[in-house]
């Protein structure tokens, strides 16, 4: 029987011209078990990938192709690094050809169809496939991801919030009607498209909130928190744009239940994530920084209990393009094909 080390995975990428697409290429080009077979872009059809992204010269020797000519049905897995709505329009044909799907957009994140259609303003094209899809946060759904044919890769903000709260909600240790998630992201989280608010002169030397009245990641976070807590959860989620390219910092505020005031929360988090290769629970009193995870698949958590009172402050940092997107997608791929979860993902963070 062939070992996991002998596994060769034929990979296709739909929509490889954005930031999550090039991040996928960077990671997959160094993955020992991956054969990059196709990458699609209608506009750049025929252009060498390295012409658009010189950072990949000598590592990625393929051209962009149209979806019709790329031969995606000959791949083992196809990543969708596309706008919402694209993956679900192509999912059935790929599944019929035996291809597994990892979608980095929102098509397979929300099981609540009404909520999806409300927030994304489109009708879901394949609700039957959605029902069978798996929410791809390995730390929560590892066994299900390993068996999945379709994985909805989590959003970047939800990854930080869910992993920051999971030990507390699973243990029933905090009030669940007034959780506050105060979150900040670098500008790359807005994608590579040209928009005024991401221009250098607009985003640089500036710090602002957005989506205060409602953000697409809110229903995704709430749906998963309810599963963790076993009941609906009250969440205030406020995202902010900060003047940096990469990075995400989420500060979570919670009130401890009276019955849990004697809990050692540092030990709780350390024990909960002791065997997680990409979740680092930092020593008591630590203050994590976004640069400590830049270009890596690691997520770092610090737990604080100001003045030993009844409030908890959980600090979570990650690279929004890696653990928040493409790295997590590769982590899911590893699980789906029986590889060690860390394969191709053990890059040390870039500093300074």
Active site residues: 156
The vertex-271 CA angle with 314 and 136, nearest 5°, equals 70
Distances (CA, A) of 214 to 72, 120, 217, 313: 36, 12, 9, 23
Q: Compute how many other C-beta atoms are within 10 angstroms of the C-beta atom of residue 261.
A: 12
Is-contact 34 11, C-beta < 8 A? yes
Is-contact 148 338, C-beta < 8 A? no
Is-contact 77 136, C-beta < 8 A? no
Considering only CA atoms, give the Rg of the chain.
20
Q: Which residues pair with 80 in a beta bridge?
A: 14, 103
- CA dist 102 and 108 (Å) reads 9
Is-contact 301 280, C-beta < 8 A? yes
3-class SS of residue 154: coil
3-class SS of residue 104: coil
Structure token pair of residue 136 = 């791809």
The vertex-105 CA angle with 168 and 176, nearest 5°, equals 20
The tokens 């209990």 sit on which residue? 305
Q: Compute how many other C-beta atoms are within 10 angstroms of the C-beta atom of residue 9.
A: 20
Distances (CA, A) of 73 to 34, 91, 135, 173: 16, 11, 23, 47
Buried b (16+ CB within 10 A) or exposed e, 72-90: beebbbbbbbbebbbbbeb
């Amino acid at each position: 029987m062939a070992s996991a080390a002998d596994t060769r995975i034929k990979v296709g990428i739909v929509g490889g011209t954005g930031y999550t697409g090039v991040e996928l290429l960077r990671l997959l080009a160094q993955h020992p078990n991956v054969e990059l077979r196709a990458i699609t872009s209608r506009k750049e059809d025929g252009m060498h990938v390295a012409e658009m992204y010189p950072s990949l010269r000598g590592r990625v020797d393929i051209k962009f192709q149209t979806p019709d000519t790329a031969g995606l049905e000959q791949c083992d897995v196809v990543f969708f690094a596309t706008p919402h709505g694209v993956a679900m329009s192509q999912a059935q044909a790929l599944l019929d050809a035996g291809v597994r799907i990892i979608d980095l957009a929102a098509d397979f994140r929300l099981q609540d169809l009404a909520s999806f259609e409300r927030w994304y303003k489109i009708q879901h094209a394949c609700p039957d496939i959605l029902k069978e899809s798996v929410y791809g946060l390995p730390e929560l759904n590892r066994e299900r991801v390993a068996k999945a044919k379709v994985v909805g890769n989590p959003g970047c903000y939800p990854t930080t919030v869910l992993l920051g709260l999971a030990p507390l909600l699973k243990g029933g240790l905090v009030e669940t009607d007034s959780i506050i998630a105060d979150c900040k992201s670098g500008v790359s989280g807005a994608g590579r498209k040209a928009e005024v608010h991401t221009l250098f002169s607009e985003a640089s030397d500036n710090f602002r909130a957005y989506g205060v009245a409602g953000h697409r990641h809110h229903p995704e976070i709430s749906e998963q928190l309810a599963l963790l807590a076993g009941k609906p959860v009250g969440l205030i989620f406020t995202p902010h744009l900060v003047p940096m390219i990469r990075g995400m910092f989420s500060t979570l505020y919670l009130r401890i239940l009276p019955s849990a005031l004697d809990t050692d929360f540092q030990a709780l988090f350390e024990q909960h994530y002791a065997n997680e290769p990409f979740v680092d629970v930092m020593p008591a009193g630590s203050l994590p920084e976004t640069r400590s995870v830049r270009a890596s698949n690691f997520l770092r958590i610090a737990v604080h209990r100001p003045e030993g009172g009844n409030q908890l402050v959980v600090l979570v940092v990650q690279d929004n393009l890696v653990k928040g997107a493409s790295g997590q997608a590769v982590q899911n791929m590893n699980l789906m094909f029986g590889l060690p979860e860390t394969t191709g993902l053990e890059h040390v963070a870039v500093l300074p």
